[in-house]
Amino acid sequence: MKGNILTPDGWIHGELHFGARIEAIDGQPADPEANGDVFILPGFIDVHVHGGAGRDMMEGGDAPHVIAALHAKHGTTSLLATTMTAPPEDIERALTAIGAACKERGRNEARILGVHLEGPYINAAKLGAQPPFAKEATLAEIEAYEALAPMRVITVAPEIHGHLELVRLLADQGVRVQIGHTSGSYEDGVAALAHGAAGFTHLFNAMPGLHHREPGMVGAALAHAQYAEIIPDLLHVHPGAIKVALRSIPHLFCVTDSTAAAGMPDGEYMLGRQVVHKCMGGVRLADGTLAGSTLTMDGALRNLVKIGLPLAEASRRVSTNAADYLGETQRGRLAPGCHADFVVLDRDLNINAVYIEGEAL
C-alpha cells in the first residue's frame, strides 16, 4: 500500500508491506501536503460504542456483529462494546452475546476487544440518557459479568458508598475504571484517581462542571487526568471546550458514544430500554436530553481537523491514545510487528479503504 504513511516517528512517503501484521515500511520522511497521495493512518479505536446500523448492544444475539460491521466501514478497526444501565438479566444477555463476538471476529467486522460497562454503577441523579436502574457495585456481581465477557473499562460514580474501595480492587486487576455519570465533587474525583481510576467517561457530559469556587468533577479531570474520553460530534461538547481539554489532558482520546441510530436515517431507535429519536444529526430522548450520538470515527477525525488539529495529532486522538490507554501495544500505530489495522483516506479525509488484521473490507 503506497501513500503518505503516519508512523510513530512521523510521516513517511512510501510503501506499507503487510500480511496479518505490518512487515515493513519503506520510504522517506516527507511533508504529506507536498504531494497528492492518499493518507494511510492507524485504524481507529473506539472504547465507547452502544450501537449502529439500527442495532443496540443490549439486544444480544447477533447485534455485536452487525454493529462492529457498521463501524468498520467508517474506519474503526477495534472497539469496546458498551452496555447500558439495566436490570442484571438485560446486562447478562448483552454480555453473553458480546463475549461470543469477542472470541471470533466475523468478516468485515471491527475487532471487539471487550466490554465497556457503562453502568449500572452510576449516580441516579446523573443518568443522562441511562435508564433508571443505577445501583451500588459489588465485586461479586462484576466477577459474574467478567465470566461472560472481558471487562476492559467500567464507568463508576466514585461518590457512591463503597465505590472508592472497589476502584482500587478493579484497578489492581487491570480494569480501566472511569469516572462518569457522577454528581461527585472535585475532591471525589481526586480521591478516585488516587485509588486507581484511570480516566473519565465522556468528559463534560453527565458530571458537575467547572466553577472557580467549586471546580467539580470537570475541574478534577482538567487538573489531574492523563486520559479521558470526549465526544467530538460538536453537539455534546463545544469546540472551545474540546480545545480546553486538549490543552489540559495529555492523552485525551475520542469516542463516538454511538447508538443504533449511527448510519441510519432519522427516526426512532432503541438505546437499552429507552426510545431515542434521531433528527438534525443528533440523538435525543423525548424530553430533549442528548442520548448518545450518530457519530462514527471518521467523522470524529474530520471534526478534529475542522477545529484546527493537524492530521497527525487528530489521528492520535482517535487511535493511538485509546490503544495506549487499553494497553494494546500492537494496535493504534503503524510499525513492523503491529496488527495491520489501517485506513486509507483521500485528500478530503474520506475513507478509500479499511484493513483489519490485514484483511480488506
172 is catalytic: no
Q: What share of residues in the chain are helix, strand, coil (percent, to 5)?
A: 30, 25, 45
CA distances (Å), origin 23, targets 6, 16, 17, 18, 29: 15, 8, 5, 5, 18
Cβ(163)–Cβ(156) below 8 Å: yes
Catalytic, out of 46, 90, 233, 257: 257
Q: Which residues pair with 41 in a beta bridge?
A: 343
Q: Which of 283, 284, 127, 110 is closest to 201 using CA atoms?
A: 127
Cell 496479518 belongs to residue: 20
Cβ(232)–Cβ(78) below 8 Å: no
CA distance 175 to 132: 25
Sort strands 253-254 and 39-42 into parallel, antiparallel or unpaired.
unpaired
| Cell numbers representing residue 69 in the block | 460491521
| Cell numbers representing residue 238 in the block | 463545544
Sort strands 22-29 and 10-18 into parallel, antiparallel or unpaired.
antiparallel
DSSP character string of 106-141: PTT--EEEEEEEE-SSS-GGG-TTS-S------HHH
CA angle 360, 328, 361 (to 5 degrees): 10
User: Which residues are known catalytic residues?
Assistant: 257
